[in-house]
Amino acid sequence: MADESWRLPNSVQQLASTVQEPPSRYLLREEEPLGRNLAGTEMPEPIPMIDLGLLSASNDADEAAKLRSALLTWGFFHVSNHGMEASLMDSVMTASRDFFRLPLEEKRKYSNLIDGKHFQIEGYGNDQVKTPNQRLDWSDRLHLKVEPEDERNLDHWPMRPESFRDVLHEYTLKNKRIKDDILRAMARLLELDEDCLVNQFSDKALTYARFNYYPPCPRPDLVLGIKPHSDFFPLTVLLMDKDVQGLQVLREGTWYNVPTVSNYTLLINVGVTMEIMTNGVFRGPVHRVVTNAEKERISVAVFYGMDPEKEIGPIADMLNEEQPARYRKMKNKDFLVAHYEHFTRGERVVDSLKI
């Protein structure tokens, strides 16, 4: 029988503690479409910081202008004054760190491989490996469905550290309000009805949390923590490691380093579904994560998606004769499958939907 062991990736955390050189499957190749220079460039101006409390309470014109500029240039923005307690943000980071510190056999209880073989989206592990020469990312992750709440697969929710489940539940509740405030502000910028974007997310809408763990890497010049991608779901709320930089954003052909933030802000970005809904006005930025030779890095992303049965397409109120639809419609769940196909090849699914 053919050797299929290439389908089963290692825990990168374990690899990092045992090898001097990353195996060749992790190394960037010369023909890398977006370049092999991983150093990144300093941003010409920082990603805007939006005072969400001010923006939500009074639709403050300066904050709205900053949000518009952030969405049109970076596709990313920081939010402060968002109402989430600093202590909760610390607890999320601590629970994540404690989870990844558990022995491998404990983490594997939540594996994303059924019977150690068949890939599923939820659980602890790595990307699906589809071909023997697929380049692999230098990270492990835990990916969990958090909403709809009655569809949570608690089998995948860690029992250790003990606080993990409660902390994630609490974090999800607090994040939801932040997401709605942001969506309302974005709808106002588009001169849509204020609830137009919020209403795209029904009670069947999917929300996933993804805990990313990037171990130290002996070759940060040749290995990526996460390959270039645009997020799929309309909105991502990211809690970044306060001490270790790693995220890079692509803008007009240049990779920019996103500096760490020491205060309790959240980093928000839009994804390709938002790009389609807004008919290409708010574009899902391409980003990637580089590794660090000495330090581990952790991030926690919450991805806000839609009902899988819903059809995704440009919002009707945004279309007219001058602005015809630029993207085909597609059922969300079919779109998600197409996204993962493109993702493992390092391509953007949204480009395949352009009319």
Ligand X SMILES: O=C(O)CCC(=O)C(=O)O
Q: Which positions touch ligand X (CB under 6 A)?
A: 210, 212, 226, 231, 238, 240, 246-247, 287, 289, 299, 301
Among 140, 181, 231, 241, indicate the residue that binds Fe ion (CB under 5 A).
231
Q: Quick one: what does residue 247 bind among ligand X, Fe ion, none, with the CB cut-off 5 to 8 Å set by partner type?
A: ligand X
Sequence letter at residue 46: P
The helix-helix angle for 164-189 and 61-73 (nearest 10°) equals 100
190/301 with CB nearer ligand X: 301
Query: Would you count residue 137 as binding Fe ion (CB under 5 A)?
Result: no
Q: Quick one: what does residue 289 bind among ligand X, Fe ion, none, with the CB cut-off 5 to 8 Å set by partner type?
A: ligand X
- CA–CA distance, 10 with 8 (Å, rounded to integer): 7
The nearest distance, CB 233 to ligand X, in angstroms, is 10
Q: Quick one: what does residue 270 bind among ligand X, Fe ion, none, with the CB cut-off 5 to 8 Å set by partner type?
A: none
Q: Quick one: what does residue 210 bind among Fe ion, ligand X, none, with the CB cut-off 5 to 8 Å set by partner type?
A: ligand X
Residue facing ligand X at closest CB distance:
299
Phi-psi region of 253 (alpha: psi -120 to 50; beta: other; left: phi over 0): left
β-bridge pairing 330-331 and 254-257: unpaired
The nearest distance, CB 301 to Fe ion, in angstroms, is 6
16/301 with CB nearer ligand X: 301
- CA–CA distance, 342 with 119 (Å, rounded to integer): 17
The nearest distance, CB 54 to ligand X, in angstroms, is 26
The nearest distance, CB 143 to ligand X, in angstroms, is 9
Q: Quick one: what does residue 240 bind among ligand X, Fe ion, none, with the CB cut-off 5 to 8 Å set by partner type?
A: ligand X
56/335 with CB nearer Fe ion: 335
- CA–CA distance, 57 with 60 (Å, rounded to integer): 8
50/239 with CB nearer ligand X: 239
The nearest distance, CB 35 to Fe ion, in angstroms, is 18
| Cα four-point dihedral sign 220, 161, 267, 352 | positive
Three-class SS state of 341: helix
55/301 with CB nearer Fe ion: 301
- The DSSP output letter for 136 is P
How many residues at the interface with Fe ion, by CB under 5 A?
1
Residue 253: exposure state from Cβ atoms within 10 A (0-12, 13-18, ≥19): exposed
- CA–CA distance, 299 with 244 (Å, rounded to integer): 10
> Quick check: 96 and 168 in contact, CB under 8 A?
no
The nearest distance, CB 64 to ligand X, in angstroms, is 26
> Quick check: 323 and 348 in contact, CB under 8 A?
no
Q: Tokens for 280?
A: 């290409």
56/273 with CB nearer ligand X: 273
Given the rule CB under 5 A, which residues bind Fe ion? Answer: 231
